[in-house]
Structure 1
Amino acid sequence: MITHSFSTQLYIDGQRTDGESNTVLAVRNPATEQTIAEVPDASVADVRRAITAARHAFDEGPWPRMTPDERAAVLLRMAEEMERRIPELVAVNIAEAGSVRALAETLQTRVPIAHLRDMAQRVMPAFAWERPVDPTIMPGVGISQGILRREPYGVCALIAAYNFPFFLSMMKLIPALAAGCAVVLKPAPATPLESLLIGDFADAAGLPPGVLNVVTGDIEAGRELTTDPMVDLVSFTGSDAVGRKVYAQAAASMKKVVLELGGKSATIVRADGDLDGAVRSAFFGITTHAGQGCSLLTRTIVHESVHDEFIDRLHKLLGQVRVGDPADESTTMGPLISQAQRDKVEKLIRAGEQAGARIVCGGGRPAHLDRGYFVEPTLFADVDRSMTIAQAEFFGPVGVVIGFRTDDEAVRIANDSPYGLSGAVWSADTVAAYELAARIRTGSVAINGGGAGVTPRAPFGGYKQSGIGREWGEFGLDEYLQTKSVAWAAR
């Protein structure tokens, strides 16, 4: 067990509470395989209590009726409390998600807090919550005029994935709360601890009871959130397979659905591209959080004239990775989240070998580690775009390299995927790079290492089976708002 100063109980209607049953979920450190905490496995009745609390808070409580400035003040107080407890968030993230310290201190914790501040300080004050409708002369009516109002969507079920627990929960929670919604947040069963901490931040900031509820559970809890008619909107991050189930379950009650799903994002490296920069980009796509990121660039499409040199350079760089326990500050790549995830990745690696692809490096487990869910950083060459390893999302530290001759061929390979979340182009010819970026069917493209990154000023979301809707900043806020027209005839 880890030592922590926060409750692992459910957070419902502003109170910490036990689950209805004594059933618990074990939270394991993926680097040591040891149980570090136990949390309630919320029952259907527990989830219904949380939904009922959110419904009452939305229908009867003050939060949706507060001004945007009043809500922003509460959100800023939450940000202040989060900043005060960053060391605790970092420690918990390393223990439950297996992040190396550099990632835990940035993308996993400080970045979502920066998004929260941006929402309260930049987006909310400037957002067009109301705007006039220009007067129009309508036959038989006269002059019609009115107001367009942006109103909170209602009760929202927020379901996060395991790889970036605090980040993903916050990317949903920030716009939902800013809009004036009430929410039930369900973190992934493997990584619930950081999301439970958010209840403490809500209390410290004075968020009204019922506006935020946090339930820890697995399949049954998730199904209740996606089917209960009192829920108006579902936002889910996870695999495309589960995303399709969420979509289907929400359809019966016509809920709005926001989905952020998988990816097999491609980088195109032209003959004139910066090879050093492209190699570093591919390196980080393979090794960042052991490849457990839906937008990571794991499919590299390289011009045949620089193909072999690219592979040689990337091979050398991957040889410098220090795989091990992320609690050790010398570690540069940690474990996968579970034995089941490692089994999946290893099965795909074997499928690549059997299909005739060549393993340049990796392909197994680190010999110096006898426990923990580790896989070596792995690189495949001689890959055909039709192979399973070129189509399936590994969600592990595995990259594939595919050669091309012409720009048209590169675009066809990049778009030959059921996914479309992110992408990249490397070329000294920035006009050609932009034209390629415009042709790739994906939600974002970085040219020569630039791009939106994780700024709240650009939207995040995918094409095709990578999802529905957008997150971050004003784009994310818009998903949690309804548009109402209030019109009247001038007499």
Structure 2
Amino acid sequence: MIHTRVQSLLLEFGISEEPKGLAIGSRWSAGQGADVSVHSPIDGAQLASFAMATPEQVGQATSAARTAFASWRVVPAPVRGELVRRIGDRLRHHKSDLAELVSWETGKITQESLGEVQEMIDVCDFAVGLSRQLYGKTIASERPLHRLTEQWHPLGPIGVISAFNFPVAVWAWNAMVALVCGDPVVWKPSEKAALCGIACHAIAAGVAAEMPEAPPGLLSLVIGDAETGKAIADSPELPLVSATGSVPMGRDVAVRVAGRLGRSLLELGGNNGMIVAPSADLELATRSILFAAVGTCGQRCTSLRRLYVHESIADSLADQLRKLYARLPIGDPKSDGTLVGPLIDENAMVAMQTALAAARQQGGTVFAGEQVTEGVPAGGFYVRPAIVEIAADAAIVQQETFAPILYLMRYRDFDEAIAMHNGVPQGLASAILTNDVREAELFCSPAGSDCGIVNVNIGTSGAEIGGAFGGEKETGGGRESGSDSWKAYMRRATNTVNYSPELPLAQGIRFDLD
């Protein structure tokens, strides 16, 4: 069975049959594993049910990708970029339909879903330009009449494991850059967002089928459970595995990939913090905090979870935030005016209530956070975002709960604020709201935030694709999308060319028989 509206959306993407668990290029195969039932967090309705792929079927995808690599790696990079350009154009055509599917399957409000698809389009544009900029270096040689250079070559098939909260954009960050770098892609989306994965694969594989240069196994999709993800991490045919999700999942992937001396690119927990200084523009601060803390119902990697406010303005800011939280429109994410949709499932709601109970036990004062049942679709798990005023040394602050919980803490001294901000295991996104240039620059300096993303006078959410995305410590250290993150998807070769009649050795070594 498949939900009527979802079925009509899939038809727009060229999918006329029941969903299947495995796709290699445009060839779809039934999964041989257990059934997965995909439900909408909006109202709990079943959207589809079908058999997942097995770990053994992962081998079919990786084998096809390895075969595709042999021809794709020698296709000129600008031609590879042309494939990505066409995928971007097809995404433009399907933007509203794909965004609607994202809302159905993840509960995102329409504006956020449209923004996620736009992010895919932007990444395509970025990757197209990148296809003519895979530059190496020319290095001064110490030997006469020698040329010393670096070249960047395609690495090989890439495994991508993505999470439910950004079901289409994270794949695009990886896949579009990997494609222009010369790498086939094997993708395992979250089974909670399987239909988004199926739709994206159908769009991209359909474009690839129209290009004679693109081999059949260039793009593969595997819908499966955690065991299927482990098979991807274990596969020696995938020299790089990019994984987005929880810290425990990332640890497992890292160990498995390292065990075969492969590379892993990890995007894991956030637990992101913000400092609000006495000089901050409080109107700007409240707007920044609101979107960062409650957008996507607190289910972003970059959601704001820890707020450190100077004691001189803490009462005023807390009062303003409580008033704004009380007015938040919560409900069907597809309805105009809704700003907060549902949590992904019951487990997420239970995790939120468990965290709030722990915060109370640890001396925190909780504002809101309750489940919402009136004025929302039945069957979904809707909550009112919570503000918790608590001491900075409370144990719960060290943990990331994937829900709209904002811990508000006070500080007196700026150095103290930085120390508290950095005193958690995670290190993804950070922000400071201040009009003091010294505080701003210190926060961005080596003595400031220890995160991969450091913002001034904006929130923690909403990273642009032109900058490399990722974080430090338990966040995993990976970088995706912009800047020079493309280097993760390639291998470097150092070339020395001797165009002299002599054979001088490096470091002045002499090795002669005479």
TM-score range, shorter chain: over 0.9
Name the structure 1 match of 2:357: 350
What runs of 5+ residues in structure 1 fail to find an aligned partner? none
2:398 is aligned with 1:391: yes
State the Cα distance separating 1:432 from its structure 2 match: 2.0
Q: Give a deviation string over 1:245-273, Cα, whole Å, max 9, x none.
A: 11011122111000011111111011111
Residue number in structure 1 paired with 2:424 = 417
**2:265 matched to 1:258?**
yes
2:124 is aligned to 116
Q: Pick from 32, 36, 42: which aligns with 1:21?
A: 32
1:119-173 Cα offsets, whole Å, 9 max, x none, are: 203x222330x44333322xxxx64324311011111110001001001111111
Aligned mates of 1:345, 1:175 — CA distance in 2: 35
Q: CA deviation at 1:368?
A: 4.1
2:243 counterpart SS class: strand
List per-residue Cα deviations over 1:398-422 (Å, max 9, x = no partner).
1010000000110111011101111
Q: Supply the distance in 2 between the matched residues of 1:416 and 1:190 (Cα, whole angstroms).
A: 32
- In structure 1, the residue matched to 2:98 is 89
Q: Give the 3 Å change call, closer, same or farther, for CA 288–171 of structure 1 in structure 2.
A: same
- Identify the residue that residue 149 of structure 2 maps to in structure 1: 147
Which residue in the other structure is 2:506 paired with?
Answer: none
Q: Which residue of 1 aligns with 2:442?
A: 435
Match of 2:508? none
Of stretches 402-411 and 354-363 in structure 1, the one that deviates more from structure 2 is: 354-363
Report if the CA contact (8 A) 1:323-1:332 is conserved.
Answer: yes
Residue by residue over 1:97-126, the C-alpha shift from the partner in whole angstroms, topping out at 9 and shown as x without a partner, is 1110111111x21112111112203x2223
Match of 1:136 in 2: 142
Measure, in 1, the Cα distance between the counterparts of 2:418 and 2:302.
18
Q: Distance in 1 between matches of 2:103 and 2:252?
A: 30
Range with greater deviation from structure 2 (461-470 or 446-455): 446-455
- Does the CA contact (< 8 Å) of 1:12 and 1:49 recur in 2? no
Q: Distance in 1 between matches of 2:318 and 2:373?
A: 21
Task: Confirm whether residue 104 of structure 1 aligns to residue 113 of structure 2.
Answer: yes
Partner AA of 1:42 in structure 2: A
What amino acid is the match of 1:164? F
2:160 is aligned to 158
2:108–2:333 Cα contact (<8 Å) kept: yes
Residue 286 of structure 1 contacts residue 396 of structure 1 at CA under 8 Å; is this kept in 2?
Answer: no
C-alpha separation in 2, matches of 1:469 and 1:360: 35
Contact 1:182 1:210 in 2 (8 A): yes
Task: Work out the CA distance in 2 between the residues paired with 1:451 and 1:225.
Answer: 31
Partners in 2 of 1:198 and 1:367 — Cα distance?
Answer: 35
Mapping for residues 174-323 of structure 1, pairs under 5 Å:
174-201=176-203, 202-205=205-208, 206=211, 207-323=214-330
Alpha-carbon distance in 2 for matches of 1:199, 1:238: 20
- Name the amino acid aligned to 1:410: A
How many Å apart are 1:204 and its aligned residue? 2.1
8 Å Cα contact 1:446/1:452 also seen in 2: no
- The C-alpha deviation readout for 1:176-234, integer Å capped at 9, x for no partner, is 11110111001001002222222322322434211110110111110100001111111
TM-score, normalised with respect to structure 2? 0.90
Q: 1:39-67 CA deviation, whole Å, 9 max, x = no partner?
A: 43111221110011001111x32x11111
Q: Which amino acid letter does the alignment assign opposite residue 116 of structure 1?
A: C
The answer to whether the aligner puts 1:50 opposite 2:61 as a matched pair is yes
1:192–1:476: structure 2 CA closer, same or farther, 3 Å change rule? farther
Unaligned 5+ runs, structure 2: 501-514
**How far does the alpha carbon of each residue in 1:51-94 deviate from its partner, in whole angstroms, 9 at most, with x for none?**
11001111x32x11111111111110111111111121011001
Note if contact 2:21-2:31 (Cα within 8 Å) is conserved in structure 1: no
SS of 2:469's partner is: coil
Q: Which amino acid aligns with 2:139?
A: V
State which drifts further: 305-314 or 281-290.
281-290
Q: Structure 1 length as normaliser, TM-score?
A: 0.94
Q: Does the 8 Å contact 1:136/1:145 carry over to 2? A: no
- 2:504 match: none
Q: What percentage of aligned pairs have identical amino acids?
A: 27
CA RMSD, 1 decimal: 1.8
The size of the alignment, in residue pairs, is 481
| Aligned-residue offset at 1:450 | 7.7
Distance 1:233 1:126 in 2: 21
**Equivalent residue, structure 2, for 1:341:** 348
In 1, Cα distance between the equivalents of 2:460 and 2:329? 28
Q: Secondary structure at the match of 1:95?
A: helix
> 2:20 corresponds to which residue?
9
1:350 partner SS: helix
Contact kept? 1:282, 1:298, Cα under 8 Å: no
SS of aligned partner of 1:191: helix
Match of residue 34 from structure 1: 45
Of the two, which has the highest radius of gyration?
2
- C-alpha distance in structure 1 between counterparts of 2:131 and 2:385, whole Å: 42
